[in-house]
């Protein structure tokens, strides 16, 4: 049977309730015409933009810190790599020297297998009748006899003991070398750590020295700027006093008539120093104004004649336009009659089509419940 008395999952219930509350809040914003702007939740979008900018800034700061750590780690790694390469080259050099000095080919146990002088050192096939290398076919001894068993076994025991001793010595030597190499690696690692700490302290001291130098430079610049401003202010005050004195003793306030004469000729004057015109200049100006008035009268008379001609042409064009308009009205009436008859025919066809749709096609009209299912959620 199904278990219907299972306890509710509090996390799932809380998640459902949280989603329901969020949906209600969204509906209150979406369905509010004063808050909604073209169907977009502007406040939520602004919050999202602010959160995205904050996340981008945090990510940028995080990437910058990672880049700084990466650069520092790269520097330390390069230093360690150089030290490791030097240590590896030194170790390989020592190993090669040890091999050349202590592991010569002629001291190996199996050297007789690939000795180039083996044939020169080899004994002849038979030395005498008692040669132990002679087999049964030589009739020097019979099969099954082992006259040198004790000497052979003793020799084998001594050889085995010698091999075991050499193996133990070789193993102890390898262990000693391994311990020595491990000790060297530990010392090198400690030395690299101390060197990295020393480099970090040196970098910190260098940064502090740079900051102190920058601060001193800024202070010197500030003092220099303050002194320059003081000198500029003093120079400006001196210039102002000199200008006031020049104005008081100049030709403007003393009203010197010669001060209005320009350097470009007597026909030009300086406007800010001019004190007025002479009677000859005034008479010349009045004569010029009279000539300008007569010229204006002549131009006005020509404009009146031109306007009369244009009025005549305009009347002729208006008569022609009225004639063309009458013809256009008659043509428009004829076209309107044809268009009205065509529109009446279209109206009859459309009415017949609507009646066909209402009576034959659209027989199942939607109810109010069908329209109520829309616009119930904010999604």
**Residue 151 or 327, more confident:** 327
pLDDT of amino acid 79: 92
Which of 243-252, 282-291, 326-335 is predicted with the least confidence, judged by mean pLDDT?
243-252
Over residues 271-281, the pLDDT tens digits come to 666 666 667 77
pLDDT of amino acid 217: 86
First to last CA, the chain: 39
**Residue 42 or 27, more confident:** 27
Instruction: Report the percentage of the chain scoring pLDDT > 70.
Output: 80
Q: Could you tell me the pLDDT band of residue 285, with boundaries at 50, 70 and 90?
A: confident
Burial class (CB in 10 A: 0-12, 13-18, 19+), 249: exposed
Over residues 206-261, the pLDDT tens digits come to 888 888 888 888 888 888 888 888 888 888 888 888 888 777 666 666 666 566 66
**Residue 271 or 184, more confident:** 184
Over residues 113-127, the pLDDT tens digits come to 878 887 787 776 666
Over residues 20-33, the pLDDT tens digits come to 898 888 877 777 76
Cα-Cα-Cα-Cα torsion 315, 319, 321, 324, nearest 10 degrees, comes to -170
Asked if pLDDT for residue 355 goes beyond 50, the answer is yes
Q: Is the pTM of this model over 0.85?
A: no
């Amino acid at each position: 049977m199904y278990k219907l008395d299972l306890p509710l999952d509090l996390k799932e219930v809380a998640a459902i309730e949280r989603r329901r509350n969020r949906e209600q809040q969204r509906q209150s914003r979406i369905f509010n015409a004063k808050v909604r702007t073209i169907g977009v939740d502007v406040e939520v979008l602004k919050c999202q933009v602010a959160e995205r900018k904050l996340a981008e800034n945090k990510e940028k700061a995080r990437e910058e810190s990672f880049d700084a750590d990466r650069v520092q780690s790269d520097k330390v790694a390069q230093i360690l790599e150089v030290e490791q390469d030097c240590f590896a080259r030194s170790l390989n050099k020592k190993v090669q020297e040890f091999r050349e000095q202590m592991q010569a080919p002629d001291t190996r146990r199996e050297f007789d297998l690939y000795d180039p002088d083996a044939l020169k050192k080899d004994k002849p096939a038979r030395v005498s009748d008692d040669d132990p290398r002679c087999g049964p076919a030589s009739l020097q001894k019979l099969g099954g006899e082992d006259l040198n068993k004790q000497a052979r076994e003793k020799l084998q025991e001594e050889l085995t003991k010698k091999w075991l001793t050499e193996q133990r010595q070789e193993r102890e030597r390898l262990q000693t070398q391994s311990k020595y190499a491990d000790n060297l690696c530990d010392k090198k690692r400690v030395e690299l750590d101390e060197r990295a700490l020393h480099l970090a302290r040196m970098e910190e001291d260098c940064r502090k020295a740079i900051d102190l130098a920058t601060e001193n430079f800024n202070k010197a610049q500030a003092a220099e700027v303050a002194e320059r401003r003081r000198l500029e202010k003093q120079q400006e005050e001196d210039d102002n006093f000199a200008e006031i004195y020049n104005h008081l003793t100049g030709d403007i306030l003393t009203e010197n008539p010669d001060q209005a004469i320009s350097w470009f000729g007597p026909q030009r004057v300086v406007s800010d120093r001019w004190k007025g015109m002479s009677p000859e200049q005034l008479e010349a100006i009045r004569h010029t104004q009279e000539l300008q008035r007569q010229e204006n009268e002549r131009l006005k008379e020509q404009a009146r004649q031109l306007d009369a001609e244009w009025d005549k042409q305009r009347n002729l064009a208006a008569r022609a336009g009225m004639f063309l308009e009458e013809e256009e009205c008659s043509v428009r009436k004829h076209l309107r009659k044809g268009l009205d008859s065509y529109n009446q025919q279209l109206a009859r066809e459309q009415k017949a089509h609507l009646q066909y749709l209402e009576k034959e096609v659209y027989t199942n009209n939607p109810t109010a419940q069908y329209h109520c299912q829309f616009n119930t959620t904010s999604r």
